[in-house]
Amino acid sequence: MTSYLGIDLAWAQRARTGLAVLDASGRIIASSTVVTDDEITAFVTEHVPGEVVVAIDAPLVVPNETGRRDCEAELGRVFGAFHAGAHPTNRSKPYFNPPRGAELSRALGWDIDPSILPGRGRSVAIEVYPHPAMITLFELGTVIPYKAKPGRDVVQLRGAFVTLLDHLERVAGATLRLTELERWHEIRAVAHAATRKSQLGAIEDEVDAIFCAYLAWLWGQQDPRMETLGDIERGYIVVPGPPTTTPARRHPAPRLTSAPGPRVAPDASVAEHAEALAAHVMATVPTHLRHAVLDAARAHLAPPPPATVTSCS
């Protein structure tokens, strides 16, 4: 019986790592957040009884001393317009020399060569990257801005997290049977009620791991959309095919330091999206422009001055 494991792996053993595992039918059976390699191993020992297909959000093969890997350049050519490119990876950075993901895979007996197909009696691990995979599977025009970055406040992040969970449930919910997992409902409750960025940060890695587990499932089922950019010699990233949509246009404001805001359906009411739209405006439009717009709106809405009657006598 094959299991499917998603790992949102921190580059070093100081930050959180998300874990999620599916059974042979694709149903999610557990998810968690840990820190150390020993904790990862304990989770795998408890929840993975035998052969496993693993999707890891972290570099596995990094042969280059400087610059970026060929697969990262290719990813940028395909997904760059969607703002879903990868950061450069090279061995000049201590946490990639060697990569933690490769060492962990070796210790747990997982083959990281993507040419070794699942289902041949061997446990395999592949490198994935959630942002471009979401662009394709969720049919997005740009990345969902759920990562905490400068210019994104908790209101915007909360709306983005809810959007992410909605997409994940729409696309993968039936396979993973997400709504049967109590932890999924806890994650949703946190996303809806969060008042601090740290509350959202506490679930981010776990949600990414659940998405990675779905990618592991697609790879294990040999879904025809799954393709490998690169190879075991030069480094690689597995993606579920190229984008099927066109890139979303960014807001034309002079300063764009955050990702684009929500995409609103033409027939949706403003009230349904007011909170997310307000957060997007606050994050992307400079203060002086917001004030200018408000002043113009007030002037437009102000009642006209009373008419002056001039006597003709």
Phi, psi values for residue 227, rounded to 5°: -140, 160
The pTM of the full predicted model, rounded to 2 decimals, is: 0.80
160 has a pLDDT exceeding 80: yes
- What phi and psi, each to the nearest 5 degrees, are found at residue 309? -95, 120
* Backbone conformation region of residue 300, classed left if phi is above 0, alpha if psi is from -120 to 50, else beta: alpha
Residue 303 has pLDDT above 90, yes or no: no
Domain layout of the chain by residue ranges: 3-248, 255-302
The angle at the Cα of 123, spanning 119 to 128, to the nearest 5 degrees, equals 95
> What is residue 249's predicted lDDT score, i.e. its pLDDT?
78
pLDDT tens, position by position, 41-98: 999 999 999 999 999 999 999 999 999 999 999 999 999 999 999 999 999 999 999 9
Straight-line distance from the first to the last Cα atom of the chain, in angstroms, rounded to the nearest whole number? 102
Query: Residue 301: is its pLDDT beyond 60?
Result: no
Instruction: Please report the pLDDT score of residue 250 as a whole number.
Output: 60
Stretch 191-195: mean pLDDT: 97
pLDDT of residue 120: 79
- The answer to which of 109-118, 160-169, 191-200, 299-308 has the lowest mean pLDDT is 299-308
pLDDT of residue 302: 47
- Tell me the percentage of the chain whose pLDDT exceeds 90: 76
Whether 282 has a pLDDT exceeding 60, the answer reads no
At residue 231 the predicted structure's pLDDT band, cuts being 50, 70 and 90, is: very high
Indicate the average pLDDT of the chain: 85
Q: What does the block give as tokens for 95?
A: 């946490």
pLDDT of residue 222: 95
For the cut 60, the answer to whether the pLDDT of residue 257 exceeds it is no
Amino acid at 108: L
Nearest to 161 by CA among 126, 202, 123: 202
